[in-house]
A and B are shown apart, each in its own frame.
Chain A
Amino acid sequence: MNATTFSAALPRHAAMSGRRLFGAYLAEAKYECLRALRAPAFAIPFLVLPVALYVLFGILMAGSMSHGDATVARIMFVNWSVFGMMGPGMFGFGIFVAQERDHGLLALKRALPMPPAAYLLAKMFMTMTFAAIIMVTLIVPGLAFGHLRLSVGQFLAVSLINIFGSLPFCAIGLFVGTLVSAKSAPAFVNLAYLPMMHLGGLFYPLPKSVQPLEFLSPAFYLAKLGLRVAGAPSLDQISGASGPSSYGHSTLYAAVLVAVTLLLGALAIRRLTRGIGQERAHKLPQAVSVPSKA
């Protein structure tokens, strides 16, 4: 019965309607989100950790130390939300891409008629979905008992900046994911993630001598954008230092984030589209046991 179904509907031509093509992009995005949400090693740290740490350090500790100061509450909210934005993109791209390269899934999808942009767009969509969930999970306790007072517009603006601000971290993760093997990907992603997190000036004011290094961390630029919208200074600024935090305009911060995304994204995509041949080349000589000259 199935046999008949199969032959009767062999496609006469391989054209695909715009609607079906859009359906392919949607399906890829939907299943990328599902698999990430179902992977406990991914979903638990990146969805639970930001809110848990924000409540512990941003609300309970900083809140009691500052006696519920509204400015501190805004800084904590923006900074911990930026922390939340870093993980899904960096690890979601870094580790998943490295695994899918190593495990042959990327090659299979390239051999199959997957629309070429669907692979990366789906992962971007997954990261932005995680980012949106994280924003909601931080806003709720912030409003409930974190002395957080922002207008609806400010909440929306900070959330949108952060959701799109997760993209540079996707590009960094993607770049690492195209460079290293699945086994070493977590180590290499952490190597970028941890310094970037601390140099972003998110958790404590940096000593003045270290402050120029803040320029190296996309987290710094993203936090500055969010703080600007929330009408709060950075931790460096309230600690009285006049380092890099006092420079720059929002446009410049945004431009840096866009540039990081485009540059690393382009380098990584170049490696991905050219890389398959090289990977095969690595495998092949092991299999060749016969001398090539008769």
Chain B
Amino acid sequence: MNGESLAELAGVSKRYGSVVALDGLDLDVRRGELLAILGPNGAGKTTAISLLLGLQQPDTGKASLFHQSPQKLEARRQVGVMMQEVTLAEDLRVREHIDLIGHYYPDPLSPEAAMEMTRTTPLAARPYGKLSAGQKRQVQFAVAVCGRPKLLFLDEPTVGLDVQARAVLWETIRSLVKQGSSIVLTTHYLEEAQALADRVVVLAKGRLIASGTVSEMRALVSRKRITCSTTLTFEEIATWPGVESVTRDRELLHITVTDAEEVTRRLVIADPKVRDLEVHRAGLAEAFTELTQESAS
């Protein structure tokens, strides 16, 4: 990653009437990285992407794409897009959709290559309107990559996909990044960000509240999770200092703690026969919940 910025929002604010969608947001997408944008509903993720794609103009601040205005066709010719909630023309066939969109780009993949890459070849002759929801998402992904974009925007790409299709999509995304493409991913699935992202930014109420690698984000929050099998009761452990919450999953207890060392020590003393003891650093899900809760308080 050489750090060159391909897309940037600098001090961008955007309001819709009385609703502040973005509030002085700075964001940049660097060459060769997969940037995941996380945040609760209404955090401003879709607005941020719309500004980067030139679909809207910021009220204040500046949006740029490949160092030019996103309104410029030359800038957008280096970009592929997969949006949420799009219905492509239902009477056109899959291959025809990919062929059409490919024509917008200077040097696209052939429809056959794009379909092979996204494993949509068996759908080639099917009308778009006859596909399942998951197949439609796969075709939208094929449409997004068919122009060989340097920068790919994927807005909730795996919603509605079955496990197998999601695995294929993840694999394709990883291979695109390996070959030097940059990707901006917004997702509700934290495991997706955790599995794919080089860098994560968290938005809440139109502001950037955290930014870093997945492990930096996890380190930002102090929570850890202890799993064990014990004769101690659920209620007893819940009263200990440093314990945030306790859940039971069959014979295992999952204890979320802010002070893992102290709670582990006490656990071993209180139940010397404790078994299957494991201490984990919080996942991105816990980190994310904590960050957004802090920003809301």
A contacts, CB < 8 Å to B: 2-3, 5-7, 9-11, 13-17, 20, 23-24, 26-28, 31, 34-35, 38-39, 99, 103-105, 107-108, 110-116, 276-277, 280-281, 284-285, 287-290, 292, 294
Residue of A5, A104, A292 near B109 (CB, 8 A) is: A5
Q: Which residues does chain A contribute within 8 Å of B178, judged by CB atoms?
A: 3
Q: Would you call A15 and B106 a contact (CB within 8 A)?
A: yes
B176 CB–A CB distance under 8 Å: yes
Return 16 A-B CB contacts under 8 Å, by A number. Answer: A6-B148, A6-B176, A11-B77, A14-B73, A14-B106, A20-B106, A27-B99, A31-B96, A111-B55, A113-B76, A284-B19, A284-B47, A287-B42, A290-B40, A294-B295, A294-B296
Question: Shortest beta-carbon distance, A142 to chain B, in Å?
Answer: 31
Q: Would you call A113 and B41 a contact (CB within 8 A)?
A: no
Q: Which residues does chain B contribute within 8 Å of A116, judged by CB atoms?
A: 73
How far is it, in angstroms, between the C-alpha of A155 and the C-alpha of B153 when the chains are bound? 52
Q: Would you call A115 and B85 a contact (CB within 8 A)?
A: no
Residue of A16, A27, A284, A290 near B106 (CB, 8 A) is: A16
B139 CB–A CB distance under 8 Å: no
Closest residue of B by beta carbon distance from A15 = B106
Q: Would you call B103 and A23 a contact (CB within 8 A)?
A: yes
Closest residue of A by beta carbon distance from B49 = A111
Within 8 A of A (CB), among B157-216: 175-176, 178-181, 204-205
Q: Which residues does chain B contribute within 8 Å of A103, judged by CB atoms?
A: 85-87
What 10 A-B pairs are tightest by C-beta distance, nearest first? Answer: A7-B179, A288-B42, A103-B87, A281-B16, A14-B77, A27-B103, A38-B91, A104-B86, A111-B53, A287-B42
Question: Shortest beta-carbon distance, B249 to chain A, in Å?
Answer: 30
Q: Would you call A284 and B42 a contact (CB within 8 A)?
A: yes
Q: Would you call A107 and B42 a contact (CB within 8 A)?
A: no
B104 CB–A CB distance under 8 Å: yes
B5 CB–A CB distance under 8 Å: no
Question: Shortest beta-carbon distance, A220 to chain B, in Å?
Answer: 34
Q: Would you call A15 and B74 a contact (CB within 8 A)?
A: yes
Residue of B46, B76, B109 near A112 (CB, 8 A) is: B76
Q: Would you call B89 and A31 a contact (CB within 8 A)?
A: yes
How far is it, in angstroms, between the C-alpha of A26 and the C-alpha of B103 when the chains are bound? 9
Q: Would you call B117 and A284 a contact (CB within 8 A)?
A: no
B contacts, CB < 8 Å to A: 16-21, 40-42, 46-47, 50, 53-57, 66, 73-81, 83-92, 96, 99-101, 103-107, 109, 113, 116-117, 127, 145, 147-148, 150, 153, 175-176, 178-181, 204-205, 295-297
Q: Would you call A28 and B100 a contact (CB within 8 A)?
A: yes
How far is it, in angstroms, between the C-alpha of A114 and the C-alpha of B79 when the chains are bound? 11
Closest residue of B by beta carbon distance from A276 = B55
Q: A27-B99, A276-B55 are in contact. Are A11 and B109 (CB under 8 A)?
A: no
How far is it, in angstroms, between the C-alpha of A103 and the C-alpha of B47 when the chains are bound? 17
Closest residue of A by beta carbon distance from B18 = A292
Q: Which residues does chain B contribute within 8 Å of A38, judged by CB atoms?
A: 91-92, 127
How far is it, in angstroms, between the C-alpha of A27 and the C-alpha of B84 when the chains are bound? 25
Closest residue of A by beta carbon distance from B45 = A287
Question: Shortest beta-carbon distance, B33 to chain A, in Å?
Answer: 16
Q: Would you call A290 and B117 a contact (CB within 8 A)?
A: no
Q: Would you call B19 and A285 a contact (CB within 8 A)?
A: yes
Question: Shortest beta-carbon distance, A267 to chain B, in Å?
Answer: 21
In addition to A20-B103, A113-B105, A294-B205, 19 A-B residue pairs with Cβ atoms within 8 Å of each other are A5-B113, A6-B109, A6-B117, A7-B179, A15-B106, A16-B105, A27-B103, A103-B85, A108-B81, A110-B54, A111-B55, A112-B81, A280-B16, A280-B55, A284-B16, A288-B42, A289-B40, A289-B42, A290-B40
How far is it, in angstroms, between the C-alpha of A15 and the C-alpha of B72 when the chains are bound? 12
Residue of A3, A5, A15, A108 near B86 (CB, 8 A) is: A108
Q: Which residues does chain A contribute within 8 Å of B153, judged by CB atoms?
A: 111
Q: Would you call A39 and B91 a contact (CB within 8 A)?
A: yes
Q: Would you call A35 and B73 a contact (CB within 8 A)?
A: no
Q: Which residues does chain A contribute within 8 Å of B90, judged by CB atoms?
A: 35
Q: Would you call A105 and B78 a contact (CB within 8 A)?
A: no
Question: Shortest beta-carbon distance, A93 to chain B, in Å?
Answer: 15
How far is it, in angstroms, between the C-alpha of A113 and the C-alpha of B53 when the chains are bound? 10
Closest residue of B by beta carbon distance from A294 = B296
Q: Which residues does chain B contribute within 8 Å of A115, judged by CB atoms?
A: 73, 104
Q: Would you call A104 and B148 a contact (CB within 8 A)?
A: no
How far is it, in angstroms, between the C-alpha of A15 and the C-alpha of B68 when the chains are bound? 14
